[in-house]
Amino acid sequence: MQQAHQQFVDAAPGVRLWTEQRGPADAPPLLLVMGAQAAGLGWPEPFVDALAVQHRVIRYDHRDTGRSTWSFDEQPYRITDLAQDIVRVLDGLGIERAHLVGLSLGGMLTQIVLADHPDRVLSATLMGTSAMSTTPYTRPDGTEVPVDELPGIAPEVLEMWARPVEDHGLEAELDRRVEHWRVLSGGQLPFDPAHYRDLERRIIEHTGRYDVSTAPARADHSGMLRTEALATTEVPTLVISAPAEPVFPPPHPQHLAQVIQGANLVEIPGMGHALPPEVQGPLAEAILAHTGKVG
């Protein structure tokens, strides 16, 4: 693991975000944006190290995750405020423009930033997410599918998300999180419970608590669509297609690549809504090939 530098930045009055930087300080910045309820340590160490060979890699904790301020109950915020936090992280670290890599909700937030602040984005990489656009999906045969008729979240995932999260102690919470990762992984690659248990144990140690915030589900989700801006953006964008994706299954990635002007699509074999060791190398390779084409 490469040496990392930690720093807090201000996102709002009374709200501070934990950040970590790794890689050469003079290398092109690359900011990793995690999904809902997920701390920055959800980006695996070997994956971050692989990107840090060519980039100054930054990962951070969203509000109400990790070591950032848990503020929603006292200061409710909108999901679009979490997109603005990306810009605040760049501002706080003195970064003018960065490559953005977003997973799940992080992919939605990244789309909002590339639409609203294209001058701050060198390139975007989106994975495990859906398009912030009302443009229909065009099938290979030319027929159109309205956005609301695209495939939904897998029933197994919805059933897991519907269960109340109860406190039965640390080990029981680790059991629950490992099962959650099993469901999200999609079943095409071997599942290693020990890998995810170790990951989540490190996240809990980093956070200092093992409860999970429900803030993303309770936050205002309005005002997230960016149909016209995505259709005309000049920001180089890579869309990762994950064939085992259970949250935003194909053709969500294909739709995303259609609605963002000039987007490229790369499939990572076996990938679901998780980052197991088997996908980290091919994924880093695809991202570095994408960012390497940008000035």
Per-residue confidence at 3, pLDDT binned at 50, 70, 90? confident
Average pLDDT value for the chain: 97
The full set of domain ranges for the chain reads 4-150+213-292
Percentage of residues in the chain having pLDDT higher than 70 = 99
Question: Domain 4-150+213-292 in CATH: superfamily?
Answer: Alpha/Beta hydrolase fold, catalytic domain (3.40.50.1820)
229-249: pLDDT as tens digits: 999 999 999 999 999 999 999
CA pair distance 218, 77, nearest whole angstrom: 9
For residue 204, the surrounding DSSP H or E stretch is helix 193-207
Q: Model confidence at 295, in pLDDT bands (50, 70, 90)?
A: low
Taking a C-beta distance cutoff of 8 angstroms, is the pair 34, 103 a contact?
yes
Using left for φ > 0, alpha for ψ between -120 and 50, and beta otherwise, residue 64 falls in left
Confidence of residue 1 (pLDDT cuts 50, 70, 90): low
Is 123 a residue whose pLDDT tops 90?
yes
Weakest-pLDDT range from 77-86, 113-122, 213-222, 278-287: 213-222
